[in-house]
Chains A and B, each alone.
Chain A
Amino acid sequence: DQQVKQNSPSLSVQEGRISILNCDYTNSMFDYFLWYKKYPAEGPTFLISISSIKDKNEDGRFTVFLNKSAKHLSLHIVPSQPGDSAVYFCAAIGGSQGNLIFGKGTKLSVKP
């Protein structure tokens, strides 16, 4: 039973355009959400997070939006750069789930 779902295994965008990565969750008790970025042969690195009391958090080119009623969050990257090409994992924590639950990841390719 997947509590965190990333339904798009891959996404390809042109350099300079916007990348939008989506994530859905089923557990309404989740109260904190994170995005991690992973390059090949490296561990995931923390990118940005959002608390359930907010609906938006911005950090430079990266913005995360949270829609609690839809149990949906998205990561926007503007403008996209070739160096952003990586696998992006959505993760959530909260309620009885005391540990991070990860989605399967979305592989982003940014083409020059």
Chain B
Amino acid sequence: EAGVAQSPRYKIIEKRQSVAFWCNPISGHATLYWYQQILGQGPKLLIQFQNNGVVDDSQLPKDRFSAERLKGVDSTLKIQPAKLEDSAVYLCASSMDRGHSPLHFGNGTRLTVT
């Protein structure tokens, strides 16, 4: 089966600019996640979708971050405006359901904010 696809792989922007990341989950996976992984840390959940509805966005900095999952398939994560501390790897993951199904991760987008 095809894995979780993410693009771009790398992005360098200046602070206060905007950036968007795209994710295509594994076909048939109802649950989609966006994680932020700062260097030396474990992944931290930003937002979780079940189909096209938001299940948990409690850790999403909503003043600058937004995400959507139209039609319950692809998803985009946007940062506007970016700050230096947003430099991280942004990982998209999907799973069959919200239970204990293992998450399947994409290769991530490495964002550098200068």
Contacts and interface: CB of A to CB of B under 8 A. Distances in A.
Nearest to A43: B105
B72 interface: no
A75 interface: no
Majority secondary structure, B binding face: loop
A68 interface: no
Interface string A35-48: 01000011111100
Interface stretch (A11-19, A56-64, A77-85, A95-103): A95-103
B32 interface: no
B107 interface: yes
Nearest to B10: A41
Given A32-B100, A43-B91, A98-B98, A4 B42 contact: yes
Interface in A66-112: 89, 91, 93, 98-100, 102-105
Nearest to A42: B107
Interface of B: 4, 33, 40-45, 48, 55-56, 91, 93, 98, 100, 102-108
